[in-house]
Structure 1
């Protein structure tokens, strides 16, 4: 019996004073650790889905103390290698996915991270201490090998590989974890269970067999039919157990998905299904991830498991470790709708010549964007209503027009004229973020070093992303001279998801000579005389955009012509 099981008996313990004494001891230990944590150097784990350091850690390190993923503490180098190479810990226990805590050299120096040091890990939501890590190992991993072994290839197009190579700090910390408390969740609290709590819930309901369904996508009629069929064939109940951590870029956001799951649970036969959320990040790691999910679902009390992966490679790997996993993988079956009988059947069981209907994911997204009808044979009205609330048609979605160019290139006047034109059309609010205005209001403390310029651009991107998520149009007009900063800004807006992922980079390519010639304030002249240092185009470079959505030039085009071309760009993309 673990700590969390003991806590459930706190109100009416079956063994009276003995368990009360154990509970008191447990709380005493937690209080002592919490008091110690206040005096220790700390690392604040990043909240999913923030696009900064370690967006997966807060959820997954919180899972470990309650028995979700089998591993307590960051992997030491000697324990990481067998996981990467052989899907096992050094002691031989099956464990296919590395769980790591990454830090920078600056973190190591500032926090005094050395073997034997104790580091407090804090929840980003409320700054409470989650655990204390006793450092046993600090090392620089082979990220290329990790990418190849875990994700199948060192492919930057793979979202998890891109995350590993671009977001993860170069050093890993390994050590032992002492849990203080689980992370705080403010959303869907009633749907969050520890493994022990969910197992207890199944026992209370007398569920002997449970088929867990793993998904990161909204569910429709086909998914309901698939899970009901699998449960009935095995005389079991259904656990809808979706991940609500970081998923694939472009996926439907977790809040929308959970509302969809809640509405579809009403379509299950009475007493057949249960919905519980899993605070876990998807790795897109194929068969390895299927094995990992099987371990996790087994820990949560499932006896059977349906996963999208494979189905063949994943099924083969799970079968290979069947004796250790002690959970049966149910192959995912593609379900097709038969209009003649108004029912779903597995695609491979439908006789040739029988008419079937289906809507692909691409087609569904198109219908959501355009407002085209979604038939009731494909999904339920409540599901479609929820999706349309979060994903309005294109002409109701927000967008960012990111104008970049040299000082005095005309981007500011283009931005002002464009705001006027869009306000004249109406339909959405339009915000203008001029470079100088943002500098004064958001970035007054920043200088003009490459680092500070990058930081300023990211602040603009953050504000723009938040506005577009609410359906606004945003015109941003910083100089933004560096390609990596502009690309990061695009990623920030696109990753905001839903109706806010429309980003257009517009290069105002007015030549430097023309910018200087029209500079009535004499700013360029001051830079030429050395009175202004680090001035873009003079003694600091402007990197020409490689993939601009539109290129304009005020030395060759009038402002109305340029504004019209940008409006046409929006119209072509269905945003006006």
Structure 2
């Protein structure tokens, strides 16, 4: 856009309706403006949207698997009309672009969720965003970009598609292998990409995804520093890092196809695909959300049309006799298999113990703070009357006594009152309440705080979802207060159980609604025969033993249980050993 046209739009903007874009919409707008979403030049209208949902193609037949829409609240949509101009602004109010409205329409969000994510349940975070956060109406039209949001970080690693294509052409680079990641790269990732780039005689482009979904995300700084730290592990001029402001959708197979198209727009001729590319991980029952290799299989069916060669991410083998490198091949007794480059000893981002050969010190310094500086979430779960709130309150006091770290208590009843007062007690609303609790906890953990949550949280799948959300930022410890329901009823000062058994309270957990007891909680305590103080001491001892909290020198004199005297809770579920703190 010319400076004259930009000045003209800025002057006229005082008469435009303004729309403040959220972080995801800002990312989408930047990807549209820079050509990363080519052939798209603007947010989708109804015809493209419906075809993409049903057949992964635009209305003109072009392959495109993911809807890119500008969702707005109904109240905003009702103020708009075709031909009207809308100022699209960032969170600071700066006008980024002007949209001339061509179409206002209502999406079928349930159908979209089923098409993209295979579910319309809120336990899938992207489905939850679509159904419960994204606006009910969509606006499409011509976009004129005035000025993109200013970037202040890692400027040398932010290249637009046209700029990268020009740089590759100027360097005489004809083959470019894209490795896209939203995580740090460790030794296995580096070994694989270095070897596969050499095998294809290609230049490596590391596409580090840093696009935000919400205002609370700040973790891209550590990831970007960690990615920068591996560049010297490649031959000179053999690899390039680029930070991609893509707000991912975590839609598994469709995401694989989408990312291949995006990377082609950056000049890439080859694209690395993992066995679970942009899968969410595993549900509570251990099953992958989308299934292994589904993304690769879908993209492979369109490989010729894509014009990009797909390179499967292979399992790598660490050979003890040759610790200086990884191998691709069969295992033996002196081999350790590393599927897709992830550590068999756990995720370092989650605080697990890390084998010396797994990564590089320069990478780990960026992504793994000392254990005693990592955010901790103690997530209590149990029946009403089991003692969760009481033990949690005692634990807060004991933690404040021995540590200067900030401690936040999120009690189930208090959160219901202040954060989820509009919600009822259907399964859907209970899930949403717990997911909100998990989101707040993840923010606290991301800043190194300690948060104690004490909801009922009756459903295993939702608890697993919260675990995954929080473990991106810190350590998650599930504390199951395993007090039997008979004891809970004897403590029922409010008479809730009696009213529930009389049919006066519907959907009451443990009576008319199920409680899915944890089978592998880190800590399990039955408060039937121990005091809240003893229970809190058990949890504190677990934190001491795991090196998560430094015990005071006078712990014994102060009445606290020393870690060497008691390294685990005194009461555990017999069928499940507690897992080590993550």
Q: How high is the TM-score relative to the length of structure 2? A: 0.70
CA drift of 1:447 comes to 12
Distance 2:381 2:452 in 1: 7
Q: Is the 8 A contact 2:43 2:139 kept in 1?
A: yes
Instruction: In structure 2, list runs of 5 or more residues that go unmatched.
Output: 278-292, 496-503, 544-567, 569-577
Counterpart in the other structure of 1:216: 182
Give the structure 2 partner of residue 11 of structure 1: none
The question of whether the paired residues in 2 share the 8 Å contact of 1:367 and 1:374 is answered with no
1:43 pairs with 2:52: no
Question: Does residue 72 in structure 1 map to residue 52 in structure 2?
Answer: no
Partner deviation per Cα, 1:194-229 (whole Å, 9 max, x = no partner): 112222332343323221112223212222222222
| 1:189-268 correspondence runs (5 A) | 189-245=155-211, 253-268=219-234
Distance apart, 1:503 and its partner CA: 6.5
Q: CA deviation at 1:327?
A: 2.8
Which deviations, in whole Å up to 9, do the C-alpha atoms of 1:84-125 show, x marking residues without a partner?
22222112222221101222324434xx1343333222212x
Aligned counterpart, 1:356: 335
1:66-105 equivalent positions in 2, closer than 5 A: 66-70=34-38, 71-105=40-74
- Residues 529-574 of structure 1: CA distance to partner in whole angstroms, max 9, x if unpaired? xxxxxxxxx9999978946879999999754355446547765665
Matched residue, 2:548: none
* Corresponding residue SS for 1:206: coil
1:560 to 526, 533, 554: 533
Moved more, 550-559 or 69-78: 550-559
Q: Which has the larger radius of gyration?
A: 1
2:266 — aligned with what?
Answer: 300
Q: Check if 1:399 corresponds to 2:377.
A: yes
Q: What is the 5 A alignment of 1:3-82?
A: 26-47=2-23, 56-70=24-38, 71-82=40-51
SS in 1 for 2:368: helix
**Alpha-carbon spacing, 1:371–1:90, altered in 2? closer, same or farther (3 Å):** closer
Whole-Å separation in 2 of the counterparts to 1:539 and 1:316: 49
Does residue 353 of structure 2 align to residue 372 of structure 1? Answer: yes
Cα separation, partners in 2 of 1:344 and 1:160, compared to 1, 3 Å: farther
What SS does structure 2 have at the residue aligned with 1:277?
A: strand
Gaps of 5+ in 1: 4-25, 48-55, 518-537
Note if contact 1:219-1:264 (Cα within 8 Å) is conserved in structure 2. yes
Cα distance in 2 for residues equivalent to 1:256 and 1:289: 24
d(CA) in 2 for partners of 1:401 and 1:120?
A: 43
CA distance in 2, matches of 1:42, 1:512: 57
Number of residues of Structure 1 aligned to a counterpart in Structure 2: 505
Q: Which moved more, 1:360-369 or 1:193-202?
A: 360-369
- RMSD over aligned CA atoms reads 4.8
Residue 276 (1) aligns with residue 242 (2): yes
Q: Pick which of 274-283 and 150-159 moved more.
A: 150-159
What TM-score results when the alignment is normalised by the length of structure 1? Answer: 0.71
**Using the alignment, how far apart are the partners of 2:129 and 2:41 within structure 1?**
23
> Does residue 497 of the first structure (1) align with residue 472 of the second (2)?
yes
Distance 1:59 1:364, change over 3 A: farther
Change (3 A) 1:118 1:338: same
Q: Which has the higher helix share?
A: 1
